[in-house]
Amino acid sequence: MSSSITQLTPQSLWSNFADLNAVPRASKKEEQVIDFIVNFGKKLGLPTQIDDIGNVIIKKPATKGMENRTTVVMQSHLDMVHQKNADTDFDFATEGIKMFVDGDWVKADGTTLGADNGIGVATIMAVLESTDIPHPPIEALFTIDEETGMTGALGLKGGLLDGKIMLNLDTEDDNELTIGCAGGIDITAKGTYEIKMVDAHHDCFKVTIKGLSGGHSGMDIHKGLANANKLMNRFLYLVEEKIDIKINSIDGGGLRNAIPRESFAIVLIPHDDLATFQALAEDFAATIQAEYKTTDPELMLEIDGVDRVNTAISDIIQNQLLRAIYACPNGIYRMSPDIKDLVQTSNNLARVLVKDGKYEILCLTRSSVDSEKMDLVSAITSIFELIDARVSTSGDYPGWTPKPDSAIVSLMSDLYRKRFNEEPHVNACHAGLECGILGTNYPEMEMISFGPNIRGAHSPDERVQISSVQKFWGYLVETLAQIA
């Protein structure tokens, strides 16, 4: 399937993307892709180094006549989100992404595509290996672990880079110039519960919620997409209010930065309540399908009989857990009062796992205002501490303060107008870009983020637009030529 990808234009970019996508590159498991990029730089004969944490830096001299221009850092992250459909047989640890062309889009077969941020990586590779693109001195920075903690950016030391301008290639709309972003923090709530035996007068069922659109928990949080964890909890809470349901296990969502697409629960229902349970399920399915018909048209709730289990969560913990999850904020918490249409603070209820006497709840809270971010963290912490969960936080990273009057913003805005005869959208985003973190050790560096149209990032529906990549590539090449 990937062979046709390498024939797309610009061919160098797409060929590098295909090579990159043949390499497993999960967050925190980047050893293979680090070796891949290091070998790429060395084959070109360019100075290549790995820093103490695993980031790769490749430096390329300026083209003739541009030696005295400002050194430019081109930056993208090596890791990608690994998500697949439940019915897709795929091993991210050993297999390369299976890609195909669908009209004007490149997609993957039942998995994430890795265009986030593989297109950015492949773009930098194409510039590094080029012999006919005019450019100033370039420092290519390939960071690790952006998707699950930004530890690469956090670990990059000052003094390794000389560049005064950074082009971050991790924005997902080709008409946007991003000059600021939200910070984020991970919240984890854990606890234990008593397992109780359930008598034989119960039937066992698997409840499945699937077919949700999913997406990026920052860039897509404003779209009102369904969250599988919240819907599953809503259904179980509804049933518990009507009949004596026993919950054996819940397994929903996955990575913190992905809006959950699927959730599964094993439940036990008294024989006498089967008709009521089925009616509740049918009514609930119709209700949520009506609520989310625009954003999640493939949403489904399924009830299937399964082999009997004879254990369940204790009644008290079941009651408390359902209510705590119900109370946990999800989605937009506050819009920015200063920047039009910008989500200021949000939370993604990313993962719910209840099994074998233990439960774990994972959230990712984002905000461009640090004090408000921590206020929401306190609210979520309080909810789960009320049921005696152990709540911890990790991966706290800062936002990126916009500098709209910087020279690179002016240059790229003017160039965009001239090339495309329209105004660019110069804005801040609700995603967690690395620029804010990198700026802590390089405070004088001017930064801007841009990229081609990518849709459905962090989900198996991820896709990148071919014509938009061509637009982005031409814009980037001219930008490099214009930097003084």
307 is catalytic: no
pLDDT given at position 166: 98
Burial degree of 279 (CB within 10 A; 0-12, 13-18, 19+)? exposed
Q: Is 79 an annotated catalytic residue?
A: yes
Evaluate whether 111 touches 83 at the Cβ level (below 8 Å): yes
- Residue of 52, 17, 14 lying closest to 33 (CA atoms): 17
Delineate the domains of the chain, giving CATH numbers in brackets: 2-181+399-482 (3.40.630.10), 185-397 (3.30.70.360)
pLDDT confidence of residue 262: 97
Q: Which of 116, 146, 296, 461 is catalytic?
A: 146
Helix pair 11-21, 115-129: axis angle to 10 deg: 130
Please, how many CA atoms are within 13 Å of residue 226, restricted to the half-sphere of its CB?
A: 30
pLDDT on residue 2: 60
Q: Provide the token pair at 120.
A: 């950015």
Catalytic residue among 30, 79, 240, 296, which? 79
Note the pLDDT of residue 24. 96
State the amino acid at position 6 in one-letter form: T
Give pLDDT, residue 365. Answer: 98
* pLDDT at position 1: 47
150 with 399: CB under 8 angstroms? Answer: no
CA 203 to chain centre: 38
Distances in Å between the Cα of 318 and the Cα atoms of 139, 267, 312, 358, 483 are 54, 12, 9, 12, 60
Written as six digits, the tokens of 65 are 């006549």
* Dist CA 482 CA 484 (whole Å): 6
Q: What is the pLDDT of residue 72?
A: 98
CB 146 within 8 A of CB 79: yes
CA distance 479 to 484: 10
Query: For residue 402, what pLDDT is reported?
Result: 87
In tens digits, what is the pLDDT along the chain, a chain of 484 residues?
466 999 999 999 999 999 999 999 999 999 999 999 999 999 999 999 999 999 999 999 999 999 999 999 999 999 999 999 989 999 999 999 999 999 999 999 999 999 999 999 999 999 999 999 999 999 999 999 999 888 999 999 999 999 999 999 999 999 999 999 999 999 999 999 999 999 999 999 999 999 999 999 999 999 999 999 999 999 999 999 999 999 999 999 999 999 999 999 999 999 999 999 999 999 999 999 999 999 999 999 999 999 989 999 999 999 999 999 999 999 999 999 988 899 999 999 999 999 999 999 999 999 999 999 999 999 999 999 999 999 999 989 888 988 889 999 999 999 999 999 999 999 999 988 899 899 989 999 999 999 999 999 988 999 999 999 999 999 999 999 999 9
